[in-house]
């Protein structure tokens, strides 16, 4: 059915169940002209809010807008929603209190549902099934290391009732290509299907930018910054002397592997293996040696730090065993015979890609850097299979097997790069290191033993992670130091000029430095969930976000609303 016939059918009062993306609409999605869902007309689709980007921030924004009675269009340029926890393949990076507090109730519900999914569908051992805090992979990086597909299934389950009731339109494989802007308002976005090339125009009173790189900011003319600010500009203790808009953190093409002893699963030698095998990062301060090595620069001290690797999962030394670090399946949590091997996710220092910058890259340059990053990851796998030193003084683990099925891709690598840094809006308020960094906060307050981050009167959430900046495209080595449990200020979510665009990812008003603790899974979720509720509240009050922020009564009402729906705005008093 062509577009004109489809629109005529809708205009005549019918509906359509699209079964092929050849039409330009996603498969298996029902559109109706009824007010209860997204509206299709000659211009495309409209809803109460259009959310660009189906990562954790985008999913949380959609769910919170939906529970507050809005109709939502959610676009995602890959085939999977979930962002860093699914299409990018990264198990959640979280703080030590995550099981009880320090995240929204909805995020904790998501985590509980992940555990329930394993309990319901997997042959767990009795002890694992009885474990309230089941960690399927027992990875050392997180209390909940699990497969990307399980997170995808849980998110789809959470959204299923809204899809069924036609209040949520999910457009996977759609990327935003342009925007229609009138003065300080965004009127519509054009979304292009990445498979067919067909496009849709999406209109709404409000738009949320939950893309991984802040794609809507340049398209809508929203003022933004990139890279690192200067210390003179921000007064931050760890900021460089000169600003550098091109200085962004490394990204990573993650992959999963298991290990079958006695078998050979060695991949073909990667095209760029010889380059990466001999690559010595040029960093300031210096890197410890070759990138492909069982050592790296200690993030805190930058001294050489030795690492271990044993795919048997056995710790035979005090060294961190990289196999266990992001392990997403521990075969011992499941009945004997379920798995031949553990499965581990590779997001390590050795496959961080920093020679290129994705922010602002054109399509050709973007693909070039992603391809190079894939070559790095495949080269790391090949090096592990052929050359990595073993505890028995031998070299290589040929039984390592690339698990293409885990990532749902033909090449076995993640569907999208793991992004650590984005464009950031010029916001009403910018979070600085003096607000959340432990040492800088101590200097600011004059308190030696400071134990609390800045108290924001407009707090709309909380989070915690140490300030963790990976090596950068401008040659910075790790920047890693203590932060304090912090709040998320509403002012950091409101652009200075554009009135109906809200950020919901790593694109809020932070600096290059403070992005290092605001970029992790539960914080991104909290930002998105609060953003979705801000849109619902603004529409209900017939106001704009800036006015809500400036009006004490409206601000308090909004904070009371989000608290009533499970969003913590302050850390518990110790």
* pLDDT classification of 37: cutoffs 50, 70, 90: low
Q: Are 84 and 142 in contact, with CB atoms under 8 Å apart?
A: no
The dihedral through the CA atoms of 140, 141, 146, 148 has a sign that is: negative
Could you read off the pLDDT of 332-365 as tens digits, one per residue? Answer: 999 999 999 999 999 999 999 999 999 999 999 9
Q: Is 220 helix (H, G, I), strand (E, B) or coil?
A: helix
* pLDDT classification of 312: cutoffs 50, 70, 90: confident
Percent of the chain with pLDDT over 70: 92
Could you read off the pLDDT of 155-193 as tens digits, one per residue? Answer: 999 999 999 999 999 999 999 999 999 999 999 999 999
Alpha-helix runs per DSSP H in 165-299:
216-220, 231-234, 273-277
Total domain count for the chain? 3
Of how many residues is the chain composed? Answer: 574
Stretch 214-242: mean pLDDT: 98
Residue 570 domain flag:
no
Q: CA 213 → CA 80, 130, 174, 423, 428, distances in Å?
A: 17, 41, 15, 6, 20
Does the pLDDT value for residue 149 go beyond 70? yes
Residues 188 and 275 in one domain: no
* pLDDT classification of 284: cutoffs 50, 70, 90: confident
Dist CA 558 CA 458 (whole Å): 10
Stretch 90-118: mean pLDDT: 97
> Which domain covers residue 195, as residue numbers?
3-116+153-205
Shortest CA distance to 54 belongs to which of 162, 177, 152? 152
Tokens of 348: 């390590």
pLDDT of residue 224: 98
Q: Are 124 and 132 in contact, with CB atoms under 8 Å apart?
A: no
Dist CA 323 CA 12 (whole Å): 59
Does the pLDDT value for residue 222 go beyond 80? yes
Residue 121 domain flag:
no
Residues 262 and 356 in one domain: yes
Tokens of 483: 């932060």
Residues 34 and 99 in one domain: yes
Shortest CA distance to 344 belongs to which of 329, 366, 364, 359? 329
Residues 331 and 381 in one domain: yes
* pLDDT classification of 11: cutoffs 50, 70, 90: very low
Residues 399 and 261 in one domain: yes
Percent of the chain with pLDDT over 90: 89
Dist CA 179 CA 177 (whole Å): 7
CATH number at residue 52: 3.50.50.60
Residue 142 domain flag:
no
Q: Are 112 and 106 in contact, with CB atoms under 8 Å apart?
A: no
Q: For residue 490, what are the contacts with CB-CB under 8 A and spacing of at least 6? A: 456, 458, 459, 460, 530, 534, 545, 548, 549, 555, 558
Lowest mean pLDDT among 25-34, 58-67, 346-355: 25-34
Does the pLDDT value for residue 18 go beyond 70? no
pLDDT of residue 28: 31
Q: CA 171 → CA 54, 191, 200, distances in Å?
A: 9, 9, 10
pTM: 0.92
Residues 554 and 454 in one domain: yes
The dihedral through the CA atoms of 505, 507, 510, 513 has a sign that is: positive
> Of the residues 139, 174, 205, which one is the last residue of a structural domain?
205
* pLDDT classification of 39: cutoffs 50, 70, 90: low
Which residue has 């990466």 as its token pair?
Answer: 276
Which residue has 């109460």 as its token pair?
Answer: 48
Task: Note if the bond before 106 is cis, omega within 30 degrees.
Answer: no
Residues 372 and 469 in one domain: no
Where does residue 156 rank: exposed (0-12), middle (13-18), buried (19+ CB within 10 A)? middle
Q: Are 243 and 233 in contact, with CB atoms under 8 Å apart?
A: yes
The dihedral through the CA atoms of 337, 340, 346, 350 has a sign that is: positive
Residues 486 and 443 in one domain: yes
Residues 171 and 236 in one domain: no
Stretch 1-10: mean pLDDT: 36
Residue 135 domain flag:
no
pLDDT of residue 574: 66
Residue 413 domain flag:
no
Tokens of 352: 């961080």
Residue 487 domain flag:
yes
Residues 243 and 197 in one domain: no
Residue 476 phi/psi, 5-degree rounding, is -75, 140
Residues 393 and 502 in one domain: no
């Amino acid at each position: 059915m062509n577009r004109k016939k489809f629109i005529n059918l809708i205009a005549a009062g019918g509906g359509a169940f699209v079964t092929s993306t050849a039409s330009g609409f996603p498969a298996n999605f029902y559109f109706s002209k009824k007010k209860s869902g997204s509206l299709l007309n000659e211009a495309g689709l409209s809803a109460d809010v259009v959310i660009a980007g189906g990562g954790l921030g985008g999913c949380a924004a959609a769910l919170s807008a939906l529970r507050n009675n809005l109709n939502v269009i959610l676009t995602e340029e890959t085939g999977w929603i979930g962002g860093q926890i699914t299409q990018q393949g990264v198990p959640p990076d979280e703080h030590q209190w995550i099981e009880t507090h320090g995240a929204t109730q909805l995020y904790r519900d998501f985590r509980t549902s992940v555990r329930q999914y394993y309990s319901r569908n997997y042959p767990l051992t009795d002890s694992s099934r009885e474990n309230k805090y089941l960690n399927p992979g027992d990875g050392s990086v997180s209390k909940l290391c699990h497969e990307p597909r399980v997170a995808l299934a849980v998110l789809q389950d959470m959204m299923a009732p809204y899809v069924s009731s036609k209040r949520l339109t999910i457009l996977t494989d759609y990327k935003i290509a342009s925007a229609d802007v009138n003065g300080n308002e965004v009127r519509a976005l054009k979304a292009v299907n990445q498979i067919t090339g067909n496009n849709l125009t999406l209109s709404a009173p409000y738009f949320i930018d939950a893309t991984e790189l802040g794609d809507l900011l340049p398209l809508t003319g929203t003022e933004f910054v990139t890279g690192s600010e200067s210390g003179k500009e921000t007064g931050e203790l760890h900021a460089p002397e000169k600003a550098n808009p091109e200085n962004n953190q490394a990204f990573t093409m993650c992959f999963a592997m298991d290990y079958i002893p006695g078998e050979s699963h060695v991949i073909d030698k990667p095209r760029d293996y010889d380059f990466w095998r001999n690559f010595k990062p040029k960093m300031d301060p210096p890197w410890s040696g070759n990138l492909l090595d069982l050592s790296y620069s200690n993030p805190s001290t930058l001294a050489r730090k030795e690492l271990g690797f044993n795919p048997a999962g056995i710790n035979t030394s005090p060294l961190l065993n990289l196999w266990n670090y992001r392990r997403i399946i521990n075969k011992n949590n499941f009945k004997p015979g379920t798995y031949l091997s553990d499965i581990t996710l590779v997001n390590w220092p050795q496959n961080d890609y920093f020679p290129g910058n994705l922010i602002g890259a054109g399509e050709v340059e973007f693909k070039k850097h992603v391809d190079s990053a894939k070559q790095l990851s495949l080269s790391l796998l090949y090096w592990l299979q052929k050359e990595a030193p073993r505890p028995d003084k031998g070299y290589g683990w040929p039984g390592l097997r690339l698990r293409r099925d885990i990532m749902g891709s033909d090449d076995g690598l993640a569907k999208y790069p793991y992004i650590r840094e984005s464009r950031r809006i010029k916001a009403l308020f910018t979070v600085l290191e003096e607000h959340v960094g432990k040492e800088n906060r101590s200097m600011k307050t004059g308190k030696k033993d400071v134990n609390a981050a800045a108290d924001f009167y407009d707090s709309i959430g909380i989070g915690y992670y140490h300030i963790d900046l990976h090596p950068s495209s401008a040659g910075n080595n790790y920047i890693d130091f203590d932060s304090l449990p912090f709040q998320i200020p509403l002012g950091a979510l409101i652009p200075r000029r554009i009135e109906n665009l809200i950020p919901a990812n790593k694109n809020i008003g932070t600096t290059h430095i403070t992005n290092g603790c605001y970029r992790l899974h539960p914080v991104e979720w909290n930002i998105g969930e609060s953003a979705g509720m801000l849109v619902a509240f603004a529409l209900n009050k017939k106001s704009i976000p800036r006015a809500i922020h400036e009006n004490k009564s409206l601000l308090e009402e909004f904070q009371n609303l989000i608290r009533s729906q499970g969003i913590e705005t302050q850390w518990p008093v110790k």
